[in-house]
Amino acid sequence: MLRLDGVTAEYEAGRRALDGVDLDVADHETVCVLGPSGSGKSTLLRVVAGLHTPRTGRVVLSGHDQDGVPPHRREVGLMFQDHQLFPQRDVGGNVAFGLRMRGTGRREARTRVAGLLALVGLPGAERRPVAALSGGEQQRVALARALAPRPRLLMLDEPLGQLDRGLRERLVVELSALFRELRTTVLAVTHDQGEAFVLADRVVVMNEGRIAQTGTPLEVWQRP
């Protein structure tokens, strides 16, 4: 589904944010990326999304080399920490945005939006202005928006970062079930080991731009 081959990335010449990353993500697999701040996790997502051009190496999605493919042509759904909702649109308009762009009919879009809003704990919120939502509520809308087009690869950067613990614990279990149901391939950055245990088929631990460790959560964390 996704393959990175010897990917290096730099923001400033000579300082490698990614340093020779090789990664394979299988169809329907959920991979959680962990590691200290500055280890390259966000850059990894940005490179796959086409928001940052690698210096060397290849990004291959569903067998297609992504070199030169612009972000909007890549079949990836994104949810970053600084989720930018469209402030002029209401909640429903935000979630439906990608659907309408892809030609999903109004009726189908409405049904799907309602289902997603219920899923993220905001049932019936379609007509609420996004400016009136709390940070956590906005994060949930951003999550629903990323899920709406049912992307082949869903990339999440600290998707539940701003939520309180109770909501996180509930959502993470629902997300895990949802990913399995949608059979979406997921690449998620998280700081939370517990979250990775619930979500991940496989964990990738990054350090200084390299993959330091990879394996199932049990393999990675039960090692002596």
Strand partners, 214: 204
* Residue 134 within binding range of ligand ADP, rule CB under 6 A: no
> 178-217: which residues touch ligand ADP (CB under 6 A)?
none
- Token digits of residue 11: 């923001």
* Residue 145 within binding range of ligand ADP, rule CB under 6 A: no
**Which of the stretches 39-47, 65-73, 193-201, 215-223 binds ligand ADP when contact is defined by CB under 6 A?**
39-47
**Which of the stretches 36-44, 59-67, 107-115, 162-170 binds ligand ADP when contact is defined by CB under 6 A?**
36-44
**Which of the stretches 38-46, 117-125, 137-145, 193-201 binds ligand ADP when contact is defined by CB under 6 A?**
38-46
* In the complex, minimum distance from the CB of residue 19 to ligand ADP, in angstroms, rounded to a whole number: 10
**Which of the stretches 23-31, 67-75, 81-89, 176-184 binds ligand ADP when contact is defined by CB under 6 A?**
81-89
* Residue 17 within binding range of ligand ADP, rule CB under 6 A: yes
* Residue 151 within binding range of ligand ADP, rule CB under 6 A: no
* Residue 39 within binding range of ligand ADP, rule CB under 6 A: yes
Separation between Cα atoms, residue 85 and residue 161, nearest integer Å: 16
Query: HSE (CB half, 13 Å, CA atoms) of 6?
Result: 2
Q: What b/e readout covers 65-90, taking b as 16+ CB neighbours within 10 angstroms?
A: ebeeeeeeebebbbbbeebebeeeeb
The count of residues interacting with ligand ADP (CB under 6 A) is 14
Instruction: Supply φ then ψ for residue 179, to 5 degrees.
Output: -60, -40
* Residue 88 within binding range of ligand ADP, rule CB under 6 A: yes
> 43-72: which residues touch ligand ADP (CB under 6 A)?
43
Q: What b/e readout covers 161-179, taking b as 16+ CB neighbours within 10 angstroms?
A: bbbeeebbeebbeebbebb
Whether 6 and 58 have beta carbons less than 8 Å apart is answered as yes
Query: HSE (CB half, 13 Å, CA atoms) of 51?
Result: 12
Chain residues binding ligand ADP by CB under 6 A are: 11-12, 17, 35, 37-43, 86, 88-89
